[in-house]
Chains A and B, each alone.
Chain A
């Protein structure tokens, strides 16, 4: 019987011709990752293993992004501990001013290729599935073992295939697809499983939208979320890596635990209400929800297409007087491109605050923590109780276009309400 993408990649890394869901295998790791929150514990456990050097410094990457630029003394100490370990071991390391949010910067730096196995001490490591890699989040101890040995145990997950048919309506993109999907599957609907995203709506979706979707696979409990690498992925990789790779493709007779089909052409922009990413509602059913803050950025939506979408809404308009709008480009590369394209100037002219890359507010760290009773529309990935600050604050998850429209309106609203049709759609109608 044939294999799914996840099964093929894991088989190749376990030295097996075939394998089945449920098999426990030891797999070779192409990249092990940690950040300034998870690395200190991983380094402590690495030392306890009694191994002097990481298995391959070219296959380990440490990124300070959560609490940097250091928000307090303890965070500075953790970042320092990681920096010193990175220097000692000669692994990949990206310093403030040259860094980005790990899941934005790692693909940009050409550290992931199709068919790779990537493990990271961060639950959103699944982002790299957008390039056809098997990428999954783990804890610090697992990553310590991966850094030391270059191997990790895994249970082969069953695969759920998600097929998106039809043409996406205006203002509907990757974030809306994934929020609607999590709403449908539930936050543990794909627990332990791999997701395979496919269909003509996916073929037409830009790569940044696929990063967004793969990124949030974990919010349905999934171990990984994979896309077949196509011309867009290859274009992205061309200037970034000289490595040779095969593109994993699911066999026609692969076995899926479930196949779900969605009609993308019927989808509206989505908003996930507090306090679960699974509480997705179409924008027409949101009602009147006044807001205090908007966050545009994160490993979910901090890439160029995200900023361009926000820009299309905010350009020439003003952030509502009662709202604070924070724009956080996901990496220095994104920041510089957005600067050169003039996006950042428009954001500042609109009355938004533009920050250096950081995870910051997404997890209530710094750079936009909420007070009790405040509401935020955020392009991030989680809206759990206390996620962005006070346990009595509320976070609504949405796309960059919806977040930008909400910033202008002072309440949750649709980009169509602010702008009408997007420029691209207007062009088609001429």
Chain B
């Protein structure tokens, strides 16, 4: 599976409070959350982002609150995936669980600027910067996580597991 879009670049420690401020956590509909995605960090983001675009960010992306509303808001805003130097632990799980592609690749972050056209091959982890004609390789997922991703998320993975045990 391939992603193709423009880069929106941010620094280190983008926390889940700026990805979706808590004042909107009384909302649960993805589209309603998406309308406020990243507004305290970049008020123009929601107007600028086009479907399939990629967030490119520094270390510890998604730190702070465990709110799953954060990856949901990014995905519903049209973000195709997030490339970061590293991810905070809970955000990493949440993104995998809800099916938002994430790639850990500090080199791609250092080598890309806002507005660059990027292409990502999720199967191989190869990130191509089409604007700069450069190529990077993201850190591979552990095999166990590939199973969850292949199933389409943790709920689907667990349903399959329960079905094979004859629980449901």
Tell me the chain B residues, 67-109 only, with Cβ under 8 Å from chain A.
Answer: 67-69, 72, 86, 88-90, 93-94, 97-98
Contact A382 B64 (CB under 8 A): yes
Instruction: Give the complex CA separation of A40 and B168 in angstroms.
Output: 23
| B28 pairs with A123, CB closer than 8 A | no
Interface digits, A42-73 against B, CB 8 Å rule (1 contact, 0 not)?
A: 00110011110000000000000011000110
User: B155: which of A141, A153, A187, A218 is its contact (CB, 8 Å)?
Assistant: A141
B89 x A191 contact (CB < 8 A): yes
6 A-B pairs closest in CB distance? A139-B94, A74-B26, A188-B60, A139-B68, A363-B22, A386-B40
CB distance from A129 to the nearest CB of B (A): 15
What residue in chain B is nearest A48 (Cβ atoms)?
Answer: B155
Using Cβ atoms and an 8 Å threshold, which residues of chain B touch A72?
Answer: 26
Give the Cβ gap from B146 to chain A, nearest Cβ, in Å.
12
A214 CB to nearest chain B CB (Å): 16
A153 neighbours in B (Cβ, 8 Å):
144
Smallest beta-carbon distance B55→chain A, Å: 17
Kindly state whether residue B126 has any CB partner on chain A within 8 Å.
Answer: no
Contact between B68 and A41 (Cβ–Cβ < 8 Å)? Answer: yes
Using an 8 Å CB-CB cutoff, how does the interface string of A406-430 with B read, 1 for contact, 0 for none? Answer: 0000000000000000000000000
B26 pairs with A67, CB closer than 8 A: yes
Shortest distance between the CB of A190 and any CB in chain B (Å) = 10
Given contacts A45-B155, A141-B68, A389-B23, 6 further A-B contacts (CB under 8 A): A24-B144, A49-B162, A50-B168, A78-B28, A120-B66, A221-B89
Q: How far is the CB of A123 from chain B (nearest CB, A)?
A: 4
**Structural contact, B60 and A187, CB atoms closer than 8 A:** yes
Q: For B17, what are the chain A residues with a Cβ–Cβ distance below 8 Å?
A: 363, 382, 384-387
In the complex, A123 Cα to B93 Cα: how many Å? 12
Report the minimal beta-carbon distance from A257 to chain B, rounded to whole angstroms.
Answer: 15
Confirm or deny: B125 has a beta carbon within 8 angstroms of a beta carbon on chain A.
no
B117-168 interface with A by 8 A CB criterion: 142, 144, 153-155, 158-159, 162, 167-168
Partner of B162, one of A142, A149, A221: A149
A/B interface sample: 22 pairs, CB < 8 A: A38-B66, A50-B168, A51-B168, A138-B90, A141-B154, A141-B155, A145-B158, A148-B158, A187-B60, A188-B60, A188-B86, A191-B86, A191-B89, A363-B65, A364-B21, A364-B23, A365-B25, A369-B23, A384-B17, A386-B18, A387-B17, A391-B40
User: B59 at the A/B interface (Cβ < 8 Å)?
Assistant: yes
Query: Given A37-B25, A384-B64, A141 and B153 touching (CB < 8 A)?
Result: yes
A192 interface contact, C-beta 8 A? yes
Bound Cα distance from A38 to B65, whole angstroms: 11
A41 touches B88 (CB 8 A): no
Chain A's interface size range is 35 or more
Q: Is A89 an interface residue (CB 8 A)?
A: no
| A326 close to B (CB within 8 Å) | no
A122 on interface, CB distance cutoff 8 Å:
yes
Pairwise interchain contact A386-B21, C-beta atoms closer than 8 A: yes
From the candidates A41, A74, A123, A137, name the one contacting B69 in the complex (CB within 8 A): A41
A45 to B90, CA, bound (A): 17
Contacts of A175 in B (CB 8 A): none
Q: How far does the alpha carbon of A48 sit from the alpha carbon of B168 in the complex, in Å?
A: 12
Tell me which residues from 377 to 413 in chain A have a Cβ below 8 Å from any Cβ of chain B.
382, 384-387, 389, 391
Q: Are the CB atoms of A138 and B66 closer together than 8 Å?
A: yes
B65:A24 contact, CB within 8 angstroms: no
B interface residue count range (under 10 / 10 to 19 / 20 to 34 / 35 or more): 35 or more
Assess whether B15 is in contact with A384, with CB atoms less than 8 Å apart. Answer: yes
Residues of B within 8 A of A137 (CB): 66, 90
Given contact pairs A122-B66, A187-B13, A365-B22, A49 touches B86 in the complex (Cβ within 8 A): no
- A223 in the interface, Cβ–Cβ < 8 Å? yes
Shortest CB–CB separation between residue A330 and chain B, in angstroms?
18
- Cα A403 to Cα B145 with chains together (Å): 44
Interface residues of A in 125-165 (CB under 8 A from B): 125, 137-142, 144-145, 148-149, 153, 155
A121 CB-CB contact with B under 8 Å: yes
Question: Max chain A CB contacts within 10 Å: which of B26, B68, B155?
Answer: B26
A153, chain B: closest CB distance, angstroms: 7
Please give, as numbers and ranges, the residues of chain B lying within 8 Å of A66 by CB-CB distance.
22, 25
Which residue of the partner chain B has the closest CB to A140? B68
State the Cβ distance, B84 to closest chain A Cβ, in Å.
11
Q: Which one, A122, A141, A187, contacts B94 given CB within 8 A?
A: A141
Residues of B within 8 A of A48 (CB): 155, 159
Question: Once the chains are docked, how many angstroms separate the CA of A276 from the CA of B18?
Answer: 13
Quick one: closest A residue to B17, CB to CB?
A: A384
A120 surroundings in chain B (CB, below 8 A): 66
A residues less than 8 Å from B114 (CB atoms): none
Q: In the complex, what residues of B have CB within 8 A of residue A75's CB? A: 26
Quick check: is B27 within 8 A (CB to CB) of the other chain? yes
Q: Are B63 and A121 in contact (CB under 8 A)?
A: no
Answer whether residue B41 sits at the interface, using C-beta atoms and an 8 A cutoff.
yes
- The reply to whether A51 and B162 form a contact with Cβ atoms under 8 Å apart is yes
Name which residue of chain A comes closest to B148, CB basis: A153
Interface-central residue, A51, A149, A153, A384, by most chain B CB under 10 Å: A384
Complex Cα distance A221/B15, Å?
A: 11
Most interface-central of A37, A41, A75 (chain B CB within 10 A): A37
